[in-house]
Structure 1
Amino acid sequence: MLYIVIPVFNRAHFTRECLLSLRKQTDQRFRTVVVDDGSTDGTDKMLATEFPEVEVVTGDGNLFWTAGVNAGIRRALDLGATRIMTLNNDLVTDPDFVAQMLAASDQNPTAVLGALELDIATGKPIYGGEILDFRTNTRRDLLDELKPEQYQGLHPVTYLPGRGLLIPKAVIDKIGLFDEKRLPHYLADFDYTSVARRAGFPVYCNYDARLSTYPDESGQTLTRKHRSLKGYFQHLFGIRGGGNMVNFTHFALKNCPKPYLPYFLLNGYARRVVGYFLH
């Protein structure tokens, strides 16, 4: 059984739209676990009254993304999950999203799978996975390399985000849960899927499974819209900082081949120090 785990903190309107899109799935062979980490905007009442079919795990407001996801996964495993999918609440799934993910998983039962992401405003693809070259710390965006007629099927990638990430139980049995101690928020998903790949599990972006996102609502985008000295510090050292230096260091030490590690670290630090002002 597939269990979809969605961590939320406020933004009830996003959660509602996400759950409504799951209700419209052509394949209903799944259950949903929402981890409500201390929301104060009525999310709890909305879930209870509008979505009684959803299993709710409650946090105290200090879980952040990684611990929230792990709490949901633990509950799903207790309920008998054989496949886990992590999903953010600020997205809307296509009606055949679950069907396409399950079909790909049935054909590739040990694979970790992500999905093609579209801009909800334009319908255009905005993320389809990437290949990281650890030697040079450069990334190749698959959307830039593939022709539109190739936007289908499975494409191998280095890692995947947690937005629509399907994880077979066999992966969890071997490598455990997300690294909530060292990576409490950002990079935990990229780290997990990279660790899974290095452990021998294929990692693919499934272009037949599509979901729509709000790119302007990401934490990193919002932070950079209002640049300040405080924002710069949060970017480099805050738990929600997209350029968090400590998180990057943990990711590098865990995933970068040792011969390339010195340059990878130095290059990554430099990118983070100046990147806040360039994007």
Structure 2
Amino acid sequence: MLCIVIPVFNRLAYTRACLDSLRAQTEQSFRVIVVDDGSTDGTAEALATDYPEVTVLPGTGSLFWTAGVNLGLRHALSQGASWLMTMNNDVVAYPDFVARMLEAANSRPPALYGAFELDARTRQPVYAGGWLNWRTGSFRRLLDDVPPAQRQGQWPTECLPGRGLLIPRAVFERIGLFAADILPHYYADYDFTHQARLAGFEVYLNFDACLGTYPDESGDQRNRDQRSLRNYYQHLFSIRGGANLRDFTAFARRNCPPRDLPLCLLTGYSRRLVGYFLK
């Protein structure tokens, strides 16, 4: 059994579009669990009225991404799920997405699979995982390595986001849930896929399974689009800040090879402190 876990906080229109896209899947052998972390825009009422097939778990209003996902994952595991998928509410699953993911999952021993992300408005490629260079603090994108004509099937990768991440139950049994106490919002998904690799599981990007995403809608992207000293501070120190220095430090200390850690932190801090003004 596959369970799809979606943490939400407001943004009801996106949640509706996401759930409607799951209703339209060619493969329907899955259950959906929404963790509603105290939404104030009518999300709870809309889910109860319009999506009775969805299991809704209420949050405290302070779960953020990682604890919200973990709440849903615990429920799914308790229900006997053999495959689990994390998904954000601001994505749209193309009709064969679940079928393509399950097809890949059944093609080899248990492994993790990520989605090929396309801009929901333009259908242009947005993201497909990649590889971290610990010494330079940079990220090598799989999209830059794989020409368009070869973007099919599953390609090995190192780090994947939680948007459409398919995970076998065996991974949780070996390494536990996402690291909510250490990484409450950002980096938790990259940390999880990296920890899974260290535990012996393979990680793949599935070019055959596409999600539509909205790259301009993240809270940190809005910080970048409306630059100010306040937003710069949020960018570096807020839980929802994409360059959160505390979380980056925790992520690096957990995953970076010890010999590379000093240089990783130095280059990582430099990129985060300066990058806000360059992009």
| Contact 1:109-1:168 at 8 Å conserved across structures | no
Per-residue Cα deviation, 1:39-69 (whole angstroms, up to 9, x for no partner)? 0000001101110000000012100000000
**Aligned partner of 1:5: which letter?**
V
Q: Whole-Å Cα distance in 2 between the matches of residues 137 and 255 of structure 1?
A: 12
Shift of 1:168: 0.4
Shift of 1:214: 0.6
Per-residue Cα deviation, 1:100-148 (whole angstroms, up to 9, x for no partner)? 0001111134211101000011111111111112233232111122111
- Give the number of aligned pairs: 279
Q: Whole-Å Cα distance in 2 between the matches of residues 220 and 195 of structure 1?
A: 25
Per-residue Cα deviation, 1:175-226 (whole angstroms, up to 9, x for no partner)? 0000101100000000010110111100110000001001110122111111
**Aligned partner of 2:170: which letter?**
A
Q: Whole-Å Cα distance in 2 between the matches of residues 15 and 127 of structure 1?
A: 21
Q: Whole-Å Cα distance in 1 between the matches of residues 18 and 263 of structure 2?
A: 41
**Where do residues 200-211 of structure 1 align in structure 2 (5 Å cutoff)?**
200-211=200-211
Q: Whole-Å Cα distance in 2 between the matches of residues 136 and 218 of structure 1?
A: 25
Residue number in structure 1 paired with 2:223: 223
Gaps of 5+ in 2: none
Q: Whole-Å Cα distance in 2 between the matches of residues 135 and 153 of structure 1?
A: 30
Q: Whole-Å Cα distance in 1 between the matches of residues 261 and 150 of structure 2?
A: 34
Shift of 1:8: 0.1
| Contact 2:25-2:95 at 8 Å conserved across structures | yes
Residue number in structure 1 paired with 2:105: 105
Residue number in structure 1 paired with 2:166: 166
Residue number in structure 1 paired with 2:135: 135
Residue number in structure 1 paired with 2:188: 188
Q: Whole-Å Cα distance in 1 between the matches of residues 176 and 229 of structure 2?
A: 38
Deviates more, 1:229-238 or 1:14-23: 229-238
- TM-score normalised by length of structure 2: 0.98
Residue number in structure 1 paired with 2:68: 68
**Aligned partner of 2:158: which letter?**
T
Shift of 1:159: 0.7
Per-residue Cα deviation, 1:152-182 (whole angstroms, up to 9, x for no partner)? 0111111100000001000000000001011
Q: Whole-Å Cα distance in 2 between the matches of residues 196 and 219 of structure 1?
A: 27
Q: Whole-Å Cα distance in 2 between the matches of residues 12 and 223 of structure 1?
A: 21
Residue number in structure 2 paired with 1:260: 260
**Aligned partner of 2:195: which letter?**
V
**DSSP 3-state at the match of 1:60:** coil
Q: Whole-Å Cα distance in 2 between the matches of residues 11 and 138 of structure 1?
A: 32
**Aligned partner of 2:218: which letter?**
S
**Where do residues 84-99 of structure 1 align in structure 2 (5 Å cutoff)?**
84-99=84-99
Residue number in structure 1 paired with 2:79: 79
- TM-score normalised by length of structure 1: 0.98
Q: Whole-Å Cα distance in 2 between the matches of residues 139 and 11 of structure 1?
A: 30
Shift of 1:247: 0.3
**DSSP 3-state at the match of 1:216:** coil
Deviates more, 1:227-236 or 1:261-270: 227-236
**Aligned partner of 2:22: which letter?**
L
| Contact 2:135-2:267 at 8 Å conserved across structures | no
**Where do residues 48-59 of structure 1 align in structure 2 (5 Å cutoff)?**
48-59=48-59
RMSD in angstroms over aligned alpha carbons?
A: 0.8
Matched, 1:276 2:276: yes
Q: Whole-Å Cα distance in 2 between the matches of residues 17 and 76 of structure 1?
A: 22
**DSSP 3-state at the match of 1:207:** strand
Q: Whole-Å Cα distance in 2 between the matches of residues 108 and 179 of structure 1?
A: 27
Deviates more, 1:74-83 or 1:134-143: 134-143
Matched, 1:242 2:248: no
